[in-house]
Chain A
Amino acid sequence: KQEVTQIPAALSVPEGENLVLNCSFTDSAIYNLQWFRQDPGKGLTSLLLIQSSQREQTSGRLNASLDKSSGRSTLYIAASQPGDSATYLCAVEGFQKLVFGTGTRLLVSP
């Protein structure tokens, strides 16, 4: 059974800092890994999708890496802004369904 863990559970940083969110998964037989953002009381927004054959994806200030063999992914956020404050979830897609981690709650202070 696939299990997805995210560390840290919560993170508070001052504006401008670069930061790394971690995601690990137990079963490396995945099709892809996605990073999502969830704002309070709202649904999820897909940020980045990394196919199992890829090692990283970039979108603006976000960079996600994937090391399938070790079961790890990182989300790097450069020059953080208060608007980045949200919960970040990673999800791995194996046979049929997405399995989510419990998320990292990020607070970026002005």
Chain B
Amino acid sequence: GAGVSQSPSNKVTEKGKDVELRCDPISGHTALYWYRQSLGQGLEFLIYFQGNSAPDKSGLPSDRFSAERTGGSVSTLTIQRTQQEDSAVYLCASSPSRVAFFGQGTRLTVV
């Protein structure tokens, strides 16, 4: 596709369930970011992948959060045992070098 694609666009889950969020970056982009945006808040960095280097996981808020990027392309963000405070919009971005291109985000609601 022409841009960064995220799925699902909306996800409602029960507290305690696991969820997987998917990001399809722009083809050829070596860098991939995950951010979280809570209601009325700024963007909180979660994790960064660059090529074959070890990812920068310094922003993951707890060990319930994990992410992987398979084959240097598609990335999946997994949240285990979801809590209500995990409710937010999860944004993915990819970049060929410096300019970041964002997807539309996944709105996660934990009830």
**Which B residues are in CB contact (< 8 Å) with A63?**
none
- Give Cα distance in the complex from A42 to B102, angstroms: 10
Nearest CB in chain B: distance from A27 CB, A: 15
- Give Cα distance in the complex from A96 to B54, angstroms: 12
A66 on the interface (CB 8 Å rule)? no
**Which A residues are in CB contact (< 8 Å) with B105?**
42-43
A: number of interface residues (CB 8 Å): 22
How many inter-chain contacts with C-beta < 8 Å in the A-B complex?
51
**SS class, residues of chain A in contact with chain B:** strand
B: number of interface residues (CB 8 Å): 21
**Which B residues are in CB contact (< 8 Å) with A98?**
33, 45, 93, 100
Q: Given that A43-B105, A44-B91, A46-B100 are contacting pairs, would A96 and B42 also be in contact in the complex, using a CB cutoff of 8 Å?
A: no
A49 on the interface (CB 8 Å rule)? yes
**Which A residues are in CB contact (< 8 Å) with B42?**
89, 100-103
Contact for A32 among B45, B59, B98, B101, CB less than 8 A: B98
